[in-house]
Amino acid sequence: MNERTTTPVRDTSELNQLEERVRRLRTDFPILAREVRPGVPLVYLDTAATSLKPVRVIEALAEHYRQRSANVHRGIYAIAEEATAAYEAAREKVARFINARTPEEVVFTRGTTESINLVALSWGRANLRAGDEVIVSELEHHANLVPWQQICRQTGATLRHLRLTEDGELDLDHFRQLLSERTKMVAVSGGSNVLGTIPPLHEIVRLAHEAGALVLVDGAQSVPHRGCDVQALGCDFLAFSGHKMCGPEGIGVLYGRRELLEAMPPLYTGGEMVKKVSLTEARWNDVPWKFEAGTPPVAMAVALGTAIDYLSEIGFSFIEAHEAAITRYAYERLQEVPGLRIWGPPADRRGAVVSFSIDGLHPHDVAQFVDRFGVAVRAGHHCAQPLHELLGLRATTRASFYFYNLAEEVDRLVEALQETVRKLVRRL
């Protein structure tokens, strides 16, 4: 167990400097000013589940509905044309953000889960056969595991599992052993939502391409924190969600290399995704619109574009520096809690996620107790049940951070956990 009886001496000068700006940024988030009960301010440590929303994004969403609440691509009246222009401008903004070659390589979806399902079901049905193989890692979120289980079962392909090392990182030697001419797809997370593991994506993409396989990156836990240059990375598909990067719920992105998207059949059919329809047949629209059947999430896309502007203004160099500093601080301070064990890589090799267990306490009880102190953390298997089973756990408690979190909030968490241990363990 990681356990300390004395408080270590820490150099928090870098974190203190960064937090001068953090305090200014926090004023952009109205929810951070509220109390969850009288006299108990909110300490939000659950960004891995969903991020908080700045005023600018909230207002962008409302402004769309106030001024141009019309459907896109269909109307020729003023507000419909304005809505269409705003929607497609958001697509262009996303394309620039991830450095896609063209906006047509950006498909709007409902979130990361739908984006991955779109690839697994559309590309998978068209390309996977018995004898083919798909590789996923043992740390994947269910959203990047279950769709591949299903499509492999439907097509007769085999699902292979990339092992983890003892400290929770991907075993690249095992990856090299798994790769073969049978490998058609490698689906891997850009960051673990449990262990904080940051996979070596450039090396994974290089090795997969040398074997002739495609690579899909689940960017739900990486794009909001480090961004992504899809051309520099060389991935074939990238999926991420708006709500984890200060944007609204209900909007996600699938990036795909244009030639791959053009060869894939649509997953959903109906209105807007067609060029011509008769009573007996239909001809599909061009990419990306052939994948966007029905009324798209117009307001959400516009607000996602605003969130991208906001994050770009802050700068990922600042976001990464602050997250690294506060994660190191949390990693050290949490070890002062008796009986607490942190799971995953060391602080200098993880993202802004710290999952832990406490001897004798169920994670749900821990999360519920610290909520008395206004501290919001997540408890459960975090949609990564196989990973928890691999660790010999049913669940963990997770604290996750973003650029709006302060060291004093980590202190509040530690104080709440210490009180939890004093009150709950004593009862056992």
Question: Cα separation of 75 and 282, whole Å?
Answer: 22
Question: Cα separation of 248 and 227, whole Å?
Answer: 17
The CA-atom distances, in angstroms, between 223 and each of 108, 112, 139, 197, 330 are 16, 11, 17, 14, 22
For the record, the structure tokens of 162 come out as 């990339």
The H or E element containing residue 160 is strand 158-162
**Which residues have C-beta within 8 Å of that of residue 255, sequence separation ≥ 6?**
98, 100, 105, 106, 107, 230, 235, 237, 238, 239
Q: At what angle do helices 316-334 and 13-26 cross, to 10 degrees?
A: 120
Question: Cα separation of 339 and 350, whole Å?
Answer: 22
Number of neighbours of residue 249 by Cβ within 10 angstroms: 15
The H or E element containing residue 256 is strand 252-256
* Phi, then psi, of 40 in degrees rounded to 5: -120, 100
Query: Catalytic positions, please?
Result: 383
The H or E element containing residue 355 is strand 353-358
**Which residues have C-beta within 8 Å of that of residue 239, sequence separation ≥ 6?**
109, 112, 115, 116, 119, 216, 217, 218, 219, 220, 252, 253, 254, 255
Answer for the pair 189, 225: CB distance below 8 angstroms, yes or no: no
Number of neighbours of residue 259 by Cβ within 10 angstroms: 11
Residue 39 DSSP SS3: coil
Number of neighbours of residue 37 by Cβ within 10 angstroms: 10
Residue 47, sorted as left (phi over 0), alpha (psi -120 to 50) or beta, turns out to be alpha
Cα angle: 187, vertex 163, 111; to 5 degrees: 30
The CA-atom distances, in angstroms, between 303 and each of 56, 78, 203, 307 are 9, 20, 34, 6
